[in-house]
């Protein structure tokens, strides 16, 4: 089930809200758990038992770690939880990737397994591991209520595509939370903002990709147009999902941390990765990079640590070589910045620094978006005049003319220009009151516009559902 679907907006969510706010507080987690499992069942009926089993595994391992707190067995149970979690993730996500590569390397003909990637497994596996690791480190208390723990793991707003919520973040809210009118207002506004970003901007930008794939002849300009459109699309698609997840969480009394902070205004790749998919970056930093030694090691070990982290980051995103190359690409750039470029970037005008980041990101997203490593290099080659493609043709001009407005709007909206303008205007009392008065009407209008688009449009799942 998609947040951006008529079924969710007009059936699932209203029914859930009515029941949730009617039942006593002690039953609210049970209601959320039941509806979260229903939500997951709509999208992945086969693997709902895997979700439940993974949740129970995390719960049982947590109890065992706590029960053996002052014995060597606590570490044994922690390792067991990591092996089970990563083992399930590895089997379902990477088995066929390894089989394919073994067949290529050794000329074997091993038959790929008849499995598909379970929705959300990359996200809920990391959430479970954050709980057991933090519990072992004595940073959180053990959760003794299986309903509450399973609610944490399967909470539908962030179940499928994040943000990755550490147990520490909502530990107390699981036991005691209240949905105040202001929380509901802010949550609804945040949800609708994300919905608009997804349906009206990301999905429209996605149409450019369809034109590119169906084009009779590709051109240099079309390669660039496709790359720029996807770079903007994935931001609005994923940050839109995060906005919706954060908004829904706020309605139910949870405070999820931010997952995006205008990454395209960054002035270095280091800054970009502090602003993009923040929850994933923090997870790898906390549970992989720092345990490896972080940057408090000699140069050789530091290079190793960065390589491992960014290899894992690429592999986490997908079982394909283009994702691994994409991860190592960013790892190499971060190393280059830290060891060589930083002192030069600090003296470079901001406009050039922004241009540098945007160009690096566009090439990175081109590889990320490719169906294979060869396709990624082919598209990058087309952008760099390394193919026999014409520079431009009538079809490219047609697409560019039709989507110029949405491209410009998306580029502006990817910066905080509108937010800063609104904040400045709200210093004027009459403007602030005017915004407050018309906000409900604007949200209703946005809902109607989105609904009309969904009814007339086609099925457009979130990009990060793939991971």
**Which residues participate in catalysis according to the annotation?**
317
DSSP string, 58-83: HHHHHHHHHHTTTSTHHHHHHHHHHH
CB neighbour class for 287 (10 Å; exposed up to 12, middle 13-18, buried from 19): middle
Burial (CB count <10 Å: 0-12, 13-18, 19+), residue 309 = buried
Look-up of token digits 């970056």:
281
- What proportions of the chain, in percent to the nearest 5, are helix, strand and coil? 75, 0, 25
Q: Which two tokens stand for residue 1?
A: 């089930």
Q: State how far the Cα of 234 lies from the Cα of 462, in Å rounded to an integer.
A: 9
226 forms beta bridges with none
b/e 145-179 (16+ beta carbons within 10 angstroms → b): eebbbbbbbbbbbbbbbbbbbbbebbbebbeebeb
Joined tokens for residue 428: 């004027």
Contact status, residue 117 vs residue 90, Cβ threshold 8 Å: no
Asked if 275 contacts 242 with a C-beta cutoff of 8 angstroms, the reply is: no
The two tokens of residue 278 are 């923040």
Q: Is 157 helix (H, G, I), strand (E, B) or coil?
A: helix
**Bridge partner residues of 390 (DSSP):** 219
Q: How far is CA 85 from the centre of its chain?
A: 20
Whole-angstrom distance between the N-terminal and C-terminal Cα of the chain? Answer: 16
DSSP code of residue 149: H
Look-up: residue for tokens 């905080």?
Answer: 416
What is the C-alpha to C-alpha distance for residues 159 and 245, in angstroms, rounded to an integer?
Answer: 9
How many CA atoms lie less than 13 Å away from 438 in the CB half-sphere? 8
Rounded distance, CA 50 to CA 190, Å? 31
d(CA 325, CA 303): 16
What is the C-alpha to C-alpha distance for residues 311 and 325, in angstroms, rounded to an integer? 8
């Amino acid at each position: 089930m998609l947040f951006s679907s008529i079924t969710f907006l007009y059936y699932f969510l209203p029914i859930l809200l009515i029941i949730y706010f009617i039942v006593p507080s002690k039953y609210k987690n049970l209601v959320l758990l039941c509806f979260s499992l229903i939500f997951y069942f709509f999208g992945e009926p086969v693997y709902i038992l895997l979700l439940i089993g993974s949740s129970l595994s995390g719960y049982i391992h947590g109890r065992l770690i706590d029960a053996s707190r002052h014995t060597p067995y606590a570490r044994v149970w922690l390792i067991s939880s990591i092996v089970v979690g990563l083992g399930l993730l590895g089997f379902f996500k990477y088995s066929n990737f390894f089989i394919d590569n073994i067949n290529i390397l050794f000329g074997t003909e091993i038959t790929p397994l008849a499995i598909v990637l379970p929705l959300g497994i990359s996200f809920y596996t990391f959430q479970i591991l954050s709980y057991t690791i933090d519990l072992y480190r004595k940073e959180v208390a053990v959760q003794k209520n299986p309903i509450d723990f399973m609610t944490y793991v399967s909470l539908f707003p962030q179940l499928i595509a994040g943000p990755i919520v550490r147990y520490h973040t909502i530990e107390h809210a699981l036991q005691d939370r209240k949905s105040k009118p202001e929380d509901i207002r802010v949550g609804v506004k945040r949800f609708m903002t994300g919905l608009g970003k997804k349906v009206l901007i990301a999905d429209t930008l996605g149409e450019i990709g369809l034109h590119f794939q169906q084009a009779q002849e590709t051109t240099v300009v079309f390669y660039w147009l496709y790359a720029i459109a996807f770079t903007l699309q994935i931001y609005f698609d994923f940050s839109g999902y995060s906005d919706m997840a954060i908004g829904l969480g706020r309605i139910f009394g949870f405070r999820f941390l931010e997952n995006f902070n205008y990454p395209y205004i960054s002035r270095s790749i280091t800054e970009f990765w502090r602003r993009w998919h923040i929850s994933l970056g923090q997870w790898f930093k906390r549970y992989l990079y720092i345990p490896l030694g972080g940057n408090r090691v000699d140069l050789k070990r530091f290079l190793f640590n960065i390589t491992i982290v960014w290899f894992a980051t690429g592999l986490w995103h997908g079982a394909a070589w283009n994702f691994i190359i994409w991860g190592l690409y960013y790892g190499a750039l971060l190393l280059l910045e830290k060891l060589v470029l930083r002192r030069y970037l600090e003296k470079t005008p901001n406009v050039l620094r922004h241009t540098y980041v945007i160009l690096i990101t566009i090439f990175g997203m081109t590889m990320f978006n490719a169906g294979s490593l060869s396709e990624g290099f082919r598209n990058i080659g087309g952008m760099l005049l390394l193919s026999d493609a014409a520079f431009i043709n009538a079809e490219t001009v047609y697409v560019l003319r039709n989507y110029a407005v949405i491209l410009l709007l998306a580029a502006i909206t990817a910066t905080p220009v509108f937010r800063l303008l609104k904040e400045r205007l709200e210093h004027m009392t009459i403007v602030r009151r005017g915004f407050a008065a018309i906000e409900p009407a604007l949200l209703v209008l946005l809902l109607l516009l989105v609904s009309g688009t969904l009814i007339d449009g086609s099925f457009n799942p979130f990009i990060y559902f793939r991971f």
